[in-house]
Amino acid sequence: MFERPRGTNDWGPEEMAKRRFVESRFIQLAESFGFREVSTPAFESLDLFTAKSGPGIVKELYAFKDQGGRDLALRPEFTASILRFYVSSLRSRPKPLKLYTSGNAFRYEEPQRGRYREFSQLNAEIIGGAALPSDAEALALAIGTMRAIGLKQVKARIGNIGILRSYLPFPPADQGVVLHSLDKRNFPMLEAELARLGRRDLASPLRKVIELSGDASVLDDAAKILGAAAKEGLAYLRDLAGLLDDYGIRRSDYAFDMGVVRGLDYYTGMVFEIDSPNLGAEKQVGGGGAYRLAEVFGGEAVAQTGFALGLDRLVMSAEAERTIEPPRPLDAYVVPVGDGSRKKAIQILTSLRAAGLGADIDLIGRGPSKNLDYANAISARFVVILGERELKQGRATLREMANGVQREIAIEDLVDAVRDA
């Protein structure tokens, strides 16, 4: 027997029904927001990902050479592919572009609960919109997706990496190292880097400010620590809170968290991470923010904001809060009794399906008793039994599985009887 690769999953029908429930809620909401679906390749040039995240990303990728010797990698997320697609083919379209996608991504990392080497993401990007309303729209969709799934425990943690960039008096490369150490809470690294840059005095205020988290009052606390350099970025977050109010986002659904750094060089402004507290230690289900990537990939400068949510963890959250709706049951299971009734049984089956009902038919040739057992096992609502006697009369036996009540009914009335029950 072959085993599946480490860090991957097989999803059975019950699990897939849960995953489709969550995914469908995101898609319905995204399209109601005016987002439109795109799709990109599962593998790209390795250079695309190193241009976005630096050469250190390679050890986290499934990177390989194809038979032509080209360096490729399975996508670790969607943003790079979508921005590559935008620069090559979509940038002449009217702005803003509001795009979403869903699918599998791949990272070579240590598997753990809710984190796999092959995983599924729900992704949304806004390209070419004004920064503030686009950030609010992205946050409203991310938080709204969790509410659409039925989750009651939702917490977005919102920061602004632009505040820290304005405060740090260093070139972008040095800023990146400092921000990375803050993101990882690697304080020995922070101290060492600031010492190298001759600014040990910044260590204390930086450590204090990234501990600030809570309601809008933390913005005042951050202003006292960081001074005038933070004024513009903090005002931006206050304006963002006003827009979230207008969207009907409850203040309890988010907090301002100055420790949300997302220490990647392409993030430029508002950044956020979103949690489902019912998951405990693995509570983070997604994140995103404002970034600049189009110019890195050869396009003109344009504002971009977006996010990704982990489908696997969203399903775990929905299971924990018992919000997943059961899949639609099979409406009718058709049982032909005797070879002479099979042709008419298939015609009945086809008419049920044409009416938009879920219908199946015995494919083995079981007897009526075993077919009833099977119909019960698959939770069919009705069984349609068609024997030669019923066929001669133009009738069939319709059995309601929930209560065992059965009655004979004219074949032409079957569709209405099943649909209206």
Crossing angle between the packed helical segments 172-183 and 187-196, to the nearest 10 degrees: 160
Q: Name which of 408, 380, 407 is nearest 395 in CA terms.
A: 408
Q: Name which of 354, 337, 353 is nearest 345 in CA terms.
A: 337
Q: Name which of 246, 183, 240 is nearest 216 in CA terms.
A: 240
Look up residue 127 and give its two tokens: 């390209």
E strand spans, 9-110: 36-37, 43-45, 63-65, 71-74, 97-106
SS3 115: strand
Look up residue 54 and give its two tokens: 């630096």
Q: Which amino acid is at 296?
A: V
Residue 54 and residue 56: Cα distance in Å, rounded? Answer: 5
Taking only the tens place, the pLDDT of each residue in 198-214 is 999 999 999 999 999 99
Show the CA angle centred on residue 65, arms to residues 63 and 70, nearest 5°: 115
Residue 421 and residue 418: Cα distance in Å, rounded? Answer: 5
Residue 407 and residue 37: Cα distance in Å, rounded? Answer: 47
Taking only the tens place, the pLDDT of each residue in 244-295 is 999 999 999 999 999 898 756 678 899 999 999 988 888 999 999 999 899 9
User: Please, what are the domains in the chain?
Assistant: 13-320 (3.30.930.10), 332-420 (3.40.50.800)
Question: pTM of the entire structure?
Answer: 0.89
Asked if 222 and 209 touch (Cβ cutoff 8 Å), the reply is yes
SS3 129: coil
**Residue corresponding to tokens 């995914």:** 23
Chain centroid, CA 404 distance in Å:
42
Per-residue confidence in pLDDT tens, the chain, 421 aa: 899 999 999 999 999 999 999 999 999 999 999 999 999 999 999 999 998 888 888 999 999 999 999 999 999 999 999 999 999 999 999 999 999 999 999 999 888 887 899 999 999 999 999 999 999 999 999 999 999 999 999 999 999 999 998 999 998 888 888 988 988 899 999 999 999 999 999 999 999 999 999 998 999 999 999 998 899 999 999 999 999 999 999 999 999 999 898 756 678 899 999 999 988 888 999 999 999 899 989 999 999 999 999 999 999 999 999 999 888 899 999 999 988 899 999 999 999 999 999 999 999 989 999 999 999 999 999 999 999 888 889 999 999 999 999 999 999 999 999 998 8
C-alpha distances in angstroms, 390 versus 359, 365, 369, 410? 20, 18, 17, 9
Counted residue by residue, the chain has a size of 421
Crossing angle between the packed helical segments 131-149 and 13-32, to the nearest 10 degrees: 140
Beta bridge partners of 407: 398
SS3 33: coil
